[in-house]
Structure 1
Amino acid sequence: MAGQPIYILADGSQVTRGRDAQSNNIMAGKAVANAVRTTLGPKGMDKMLVDSMGDVVITNDGATILKEMDIEHPTAKMIVEVAKTQDDEVGDGTTTAAVLAGEFLSKAEELLKKGVHPTIIATGYRQAAKKAVEIVKSISIDISRDDTEALKKVANTAITGKGAESHKEMLAELTVEAVSLIGEETDDGYVADVSDIKIEKQAGESVGESKLVKGLVLDKARTHPNMPEKIEDAKILVLSVPVEFKKTEMDAEIKISSPDQMQMFLDQEEKMVKQMTDKILNSGANVVFCQKGIDDLAQYYLEKAGIYAAKRLKKSDLDRICEATGATNIQDIDEITAKDLGSADLVEERDIKGNKMTYITGCREKKAVSIILHGGTQHVVDSLQHAVDDALHVVAVALEDGKVVAGGGSPEVELSMRLGEYASSLSGREQLAVAKFAEAFEVIPETLAENSGYDPINKLVELRSKHEEGNKRMGLNVYTGEIVDMWESNVIEPLRAKTQAINAGTEAAVMVLRIDDVVAASPHSNQASPEMPDMDMDM
């Protein structure tokens, strides 16, 4: 047996080791960062993404771009996770998080080429990230929950550059009012759950026609035009089962040999539907929302009883109705009781520019808020939704934390300088990693300048000069090219947007750096090899 080779991996498996594996992984991370880098800032460019079905998405939202791209490389997917986490936690700053993660890897690569061990870099990066969070917290500004003007500025900053700038003041007002309505004090502090705000999109009319409704808005009309258009003091029944004749679960054949038998069969079917509607009527409900279908005959009985009914509702809408009105989602019509009904002051059908929608207002259990967005085309409305969604999240985060920072690259310049000073106070090789970590933050102001058509080096030098004079809030005005006070220019971001980007970007970079072998199973014929640095981006 001496000298006989031992095979551990299956045929076709690929192993990339040491420096090659690190180089490939870093290249993949940088490729993802570069894919979204040109979208950063108010003057960032848009991306057109075309999926395999031919559907088009036009956006400059980092999270949306990375979600829609067909990415194969495992390391690239880790950078996408950074953007996704940023989006879930803060709602904005996804591009910043992805660009920072890519730059952390790029700076680490410079150290690897000098022979610095990845473990030393990882230790230095973690140390630097902890210090960076301390620094950014020290330059944050407290805002009160009653300071609607500051909150509007936070919303404005999130909306700027997302295709809705001409109406950003109005949209900022809508978002601040919506978040303020659903926010509440809990044992764990102030909580504003943005999922309680429903966004309905309507193509047609201008963006300026968008409005806030204190209640739930459903993109559904009454099932029958003879049903009442308005129900006051609504008793709401929510069903996730159909109000229809139940078909047998197994294949069955019924032989009918005479017209009488046919009539008996039809009568029995009608009787079953009548029994179902009687149970609904006996519960005391005067409004029915059903996830499935409602039989024509059932609609007739409900209409005769003066009941408002809507069918084929989304499960998410049913859940919102239950939460807002206190209704129970019924799985079996035989089990309906009066206790299962929800209540609201008013349920009515309204005609919104030719589209009939159901409004539920005066919800008794929980505040419900809806925003109806209008736009010239479906693409405009979709883009508008991304902007409003980001604005809602950042306002909620600002309300919960009560802390914000100036934008325009000012925190990143301050972090770069202060971390550079911190690095010089350290001994050992970690000092090199902290210094490179500090340099990485300069990519944000540089990219803002580059995307706005200015010389990035000149602007960075001007910014550093202002910050050295003690002006911590000085950032780049992308419209004029001047270095100005971002707080006075109303460019404000939540503190959490910065801390989350720092922590998520650092963790992703450290994880990538600690990989020294990539063992890839035999790829399928239609799959790219994971060890390749380039990505399959199906746009």
Structure 2
Amino acid sequence: MADESGVGLAGEVRTLCDVIRTALGPFGANKLLVGADGNVQTTASSTELLNSLEVDDPAVTLVSSTATGFRERHGDGAGSVVALVGALLAEAERLRERGLHPTAIEQGYRTGLETALTTLDRTARSLDEYGPSAVARIALTGTRDPSARGAVADQVAAAVERIGDEVGSGDAGPGARDAIQVVSRTGGAAAETELVEGVVLDRNQTTPAMPRTPDRRGVAVLSSTVDVPTVGTEMGRVSRRVDLDVDSFEEREAVADYERSAFAERLDAAVEAGCGAVFTGQAINERVENELAARDVLGVERLDADELRRIARTTGTTVVPTLEQVTTETLGDAAVRVERKAGRDMTFVTDGAGETVYTLFCRAPDPRSATAFERSVESAVAAAAAAVRDGRVVPGGGAAEATAAEAVRREARSIPDRSQFAAEAFGDALMTVPRALGRTAGMDAWEAEVRLRVARSEGRDAVGVDALVGTTRDVLAEDAIVDPLPIRRATLTAATELATQLVRIDERLPATDLGDDAEDQEEMGLGPAGGAGRPNAD
């Protein structure tokens, strides 16, 4: 049944991890992805790489899903998690070849993790010394233009600081990510990115006849299709069902006239209540589009749940099923307009009466750049939010990992059993991040590591790799390079947990094999798997 050892499984995972490791940092290597359909694209985004790779190996799938889940939860750091997993597995393979049992490896790794987390807490600085803009700037790997990075980072920091308490909800800022949406559009440069107070939708009105800027500020958010009511349908509980038989053309026309009249009454009532814009998650039927346009109502259809929620949040709208439920009390209040941006009409919902939400409207010259830049801005939002929430940062550029690695190796010398070797290996694995940053920046990776170790021996824990300059320096000096402490802690924890799970795998067992073996044993009279058969009681 077993076809691979844990070492074999780790080897396949490490291949994936090596690919991701070389994409770390602002100068991460691009990967040429060739899809099954022949579509070719290049990317240096760890998340996009993980999502695009077509793999069947269960261990590789586990790593990929863990990294994807980490990004969804924390918004940043998925690439570092995968790179660290690869380094930990490489060290574990070396230890296993020397005869160290997986249990001892796990014990040493967990001891190393505890020491590393303690060291991160000890080396943390107050965010007030550097500001959230510095955190956002480091996470913006989607552009290498210093002026663009600085301008966008300032906008990200401004939005994160303005939403205040929203940063505190969730693990690393899901509240912030809900209050700050990132929208990208091809056309223009990254420096043209703008911060909009409100919601920006990549959609326009359903028909050009509708107004681009309604006079009325009332906003209705609907959950169902906007269409004429069908005779016999009612909202709420139905006490009885009535079948309507229509035989003649005149009768059908009469029913249609009644339905159109009923819709007109509902629409007039909504307009009288102040409705100027209708947003729905379903469709706006073609036969009512002109009715909306004639009453100066802008309609936008097929919005997803997140977009509807953000609109309701910023306008103070109560989401209702149909126009029939729209009243003065359920309407929200905001300025709605359709504006042409980057060669395409987009809908802006601003100056809302509800909670404050922001949209970072990003620009890039081509689709690939737009996608990469949007992902990096999302990472910047998450990183800045995590830093503001916790109030602490650590030296970036691999400096925090180098300091933790030195502390782990020093602590390992006091461990009296064989897990000491694993703890030392854990410290060595932590250096994979600064080595990768140095290598992708064109430096000699091992020379960079030596410089970092010498700095630690001299008590300089803020020396790290400045990938943009291509050297090692005090990363807390001018143009500080800092990372949010919560994400760095979560990265080490997630990588260690996943690596120890993989290290303890000794066999891969298809579930069908277990069932087949059980059936074979029963046929041979051996009874259930795992025990000898018993004679029939009868």
Same fold flag (TM > 0.5): yes
**Contact kept in structure 2, 1:243 and 1:276, CA below 8 Å:** no
SS at match of 2:282: coil
Alpha-carbon distance in structure 1 between the residues aligned to 2:86 and 2:350: 47
Q: Which residue of 2 is the match for residue 411 of structure 1?
A: 400
Q: Which residue of 2 is the match for residue 152 of structure 1?
A: 133
User: Which of 200, 207, 232 pairs up with 2:190?
Assistant: 207
Alpha-carbon distance in structure 2 between the residues aligned to 1:504 and 1:187: 21
**Contact kept in structure 1, 2:142 and 2:369, CA below 8 Å:** no
User: Which of 339, 355, 365 pairs up with 1:350?
Assistant: 339
Alpha-carbon distance in structure 2 between the residues aligned to 1:302 and 1:457: 67
Residue 188 of structure 1 deviates from its aligned partner by 7.5
Q: Which residue of 2 is the match for residue 391 of structure 1?
A: 380
SS at match of 2:131: helix
Residue 428 of structure 1 deviates from its aligned partner by 1.0
**Contact kept in structure 1, 2:147 and 2:191, CA below 8 Å:** no
Residue 197 (structure 1) aligned with residue 180 (structure 2): yes
Q: Which residue of 1 is the match for residue 48 of structure 2?
A: 64
Which amino acid is the alignment partner of residue 371 of structure 1? L
Residue 56 of structure 1 deviates from its aligned partner by 5.0
**Contact kept in structure 2, 1:86 and 1:497, CA below 8 Å:** no
Residue 244 of structure 1 deviates from its aligned partner by 1.7
SS at match of 1:428: coil
Which amino acid is the alignment partner of residue 120 of structure 2? V
Q: Which residue of 2 is the match for residue 143 of structure 1?
A: 127
Q: Which residue of 1 is the match for residue 303 of structure 2?
A: 313
Q: Which residue of 1 is the match for residue 348 of structure 2?
A: 359
SS at match of 1:242: coil
Alpha-carbon distance in structure 1 between the residues aligned to 2:264 and 2:398: 67
Which amino acid is the alignment partner of residue 414 of structure 2? S
Relative to structure 2, which stretch is displaced further, 418-427 or 481-490?
Answer: 481-490
Residue 520 (structure 1) aligned with residue 510 (structure 2): yes
The alignment yields a C-alpha RMSD, in angstroms, of 2.9
Q: Identical aligned pairs, as a percentage?
A: 26
Q: Which residue of 2 is the match for residue 327 of structure 1?
A: 317
Alpha-carbon distance in structure 2 between the residues aligned to 1:59 and 1:165: 21
Relative to structure 1, the CA distance from residue 354 to residue 516 in structure 2 (aligned partners, 3 Å threshold; closer, same or farther) is closer
Residue 91 of structure 1 deviates from its aligned partner by 2.4
Relative to structure 1, the CA distance from residue 296 to residue 85 in structure 2 (aligned partners, 3 Å threshold; closer, same or farther) is closer
Residue 494 (structure 1) aligned with residue 484 (structure 2): yes
Which amino acid is the alignment partner of residue 459 of structure 2? G
Q: How many residues align?
A: 501
SS at match of 1:405: strand
| TM-score (ref. length: structure 2) | 0.85
Q: Which residue of 2 is the match for residue 97 of structure 1?
A: 81
Alpha-carbon distance in structure 2 between the residues aligned to 1:198 and 1:409: 29
Tell me the alpha carbon deviations over residues 30-60 of structure 1, each in whole angstroms, 9 at most, x when there is no partner: 1121121111222221123344455555322
Which amino acid is the alignment partner of residue 176 of structure 1? A
Relative to structure 1, the CA distance from residue 70 to residue 431 in structure 2 (aligned partners, 3 Å threshold; closer, same or farther) is same
Q: Which residue of 2 is the match for residue 507 of structure 1?
A: 497
Relative to structure 1, the CA distance from residue 446 to residue 371 in structure 2 (aligned partners, 3 Å threshold; closer, same or farther) is closer
Residue 15 (structure 1) aligned with residue 2 (structure 2): yes
Q: Which residue of 2 is the match for residue 456 of structure 1?
A: 445
SS at match of 1:40: coil
Alpha-carbon distance in structure 1 between the residues aligned to 2:156 and 2:323: 39
Alpha-carbon distance in structure 1 between the residues aligned to 2:168 and 2:70: 25
Which amino acid is the alignment partner of residue 429 of structure 2? A
Which amino acid is the alignment partner of residue 118 of structure 1? P
Relative to structure 2, which stretch is displaced further, 60-69 or 453-462?
Answer: 453-462
Relative to structure 1, the CA distance from residue 438 to residue 284 in structure 2 (aligned partners, 3 Å threshold; closer, same or farther) is same
Tell me the alpha carbon deviations over residues 93-124 of structure 1, each in whole angstroms, 9 at most, x when there is no partner: 22221111111111111121122111111112
Q: Which residue of 1 is the match for residue 463 of structure 2?
A: 474
Alpha-carbon distance in structure 2 between the residues aligned to 1:520 and 1:431: 35
Tell me the alpha carbon deviations over residues 500-537 of structure 1, each in whole angstroms, 9 at most, x when there is no partner: 111011101111122222212469xxxxxxxxxxxxxx
User: Which of 366, 371, 375 pairs up with 1:382?
Assistant: 371
Residue 287 (structure 1) aligned with residue 274 (structure 2): no
Relative to structure 2, which stretch is displaced further, 326-335 or 380-389?
Answer: 326-335
Which amino acid is the alignment partner of residue 214 of structure 1? E
Tell me the alpha carbon deviations over residues 268-301 of structure 1, each in whole angstroms, 9 at most, x when there is no partner: 4433432442453354423221223334453333
Q: Which residue of 1 is the match for residue 154 of structure 2?
A: 173
Residue 447 (structure 1) aligned with residue 447 (structure 2): no
Tell me the alpha carbon deviations over residues 184-228 of structure 1, each in whole angstroms, 9 at most, x when there is no partner: 279989965212212222222222222111111222323444544
User: Which of 64, 79, 103 pairs up with 2:63?
Assistant: 79
Relative to structure 1, the CA distance from residue 155 to residue 244 in structure 2 (aligned partners, 3 Å threshold; closer, same or farther) is same
Residue 423 of structure 1 deviates from its aligned partner by 0.5
Relative to structure 2, which stretch is displaced further, 456-465 or 302-311?
Answer: 302-311
Alpha-carbon distance in structure 2 between the residues aligned to 1:434 and 1:81: 27
Residue 369 of structure 1 deviates from its aligned partner by 0.7
**Contact kept in structure 1, 2:168 and 2:389, CA below 8 Å:** no
SS at match of 1:288: strand
Residue 360 of structure 1 deviates from its aligned partner by 1.5
The answer to which structure, 1 or 2, has the higher relative contact order (CA under 8 A, 6+ apart) is 1
Relative to structure 1, the CA distance from residue 272 to residue 232 in structure 2 (aligned partners, 3 Å threshold; closer, same or farther) is closer
Which amino acid is the alignment partner of residue 90 of structure 1? H
Q: Which residue of 1 is the match for residue 227 of structure 2?
A: 244
**Contact kept in structure 2, 1:241 and 1:292, CA below 8 Å:** yes
Which amino acid is the alignment partner of residue 215 of structure 1? G
**Contact kept in structure 2, 1:104 and 1:509, CA below 8 Å:** yes
Alpha-carbon distance in structure 2 between the residues aligned to 1:187 and 1:101: 29
Which amino acid is the alignment partner of residue 379 of structure 2? D
Relative to structure 1, the CA distance from residue 457 to residue 84 in structure 2 (aligned partners, 3 Å threshold; closer, same or farther) is same
Alpha-carbon distance in structure 2 between the residues aligned to 1:482 and 1:318: 47
Alpha-carbon distance in structure 1 between the residues aligned to 2:182 and 2:26: 24
Relative to structure 1, the CA distance from residue 311 to residue 443 in structure 2 (aligned partners, 3 Å threshold; closer, same or farther) is closer
Relative to structure 2, which stretch is displaced further, 496-505 or 162-171?
Answer: 162-171
**Contact kept in structure 2, 1:159 and 1:165, CA below 8 Å:** no
Residue 241 of structure 1 deviates from its aligned partner by 1.6
Alpha-carbon distance in structure 2 between the residues aligned to 1:459 and 1:311: 54
SS at match of 1:58: strand
Residue 161 of structure 1 deviates from its aligned partner by 5.9
**Contact kept in structure 1, 2:138 and 2:482, CA below 8 Å:** yes
Q: Which residue of 2 is the match for residue 426 of structure 1?
A: 415
Q: Which residue of 2 is the match for residue 117 of structure 1?
A: 101
Tell me the alpha carbon deviations over residues 458-509 of structure 1, each in whole angstroms, 9 at most, x when there is no partner: 2222221121111111122335543310111522111123211110111011
**Contact kept in structure 2, 1:93 and 1:501, CA below 8 Å:** yes
User: Which of 32, 51, 62 pairs up with 1:48?
Assistant: 32
Q: Which runs of 5+ in 1 are unaligned?
A: 1-13, 524-539
Residue 25 (structure 1) aligned with residue 9 (structure 2): yes
Tell me the alpha carbon deviations over residues 314-345 of structure 1, each in whole angstroms, 9 at most, x when there is no partner: 3321121112222122224444443222222x
Relative to structure 1, the CA distance from residue 86 to residue 432 in structure 2 (aligned partners, 3 Å threshold; closer, same or farther) is same
**Contact kept in structure 2, 1:212 and 1:370, CA below 8 Å:** yes
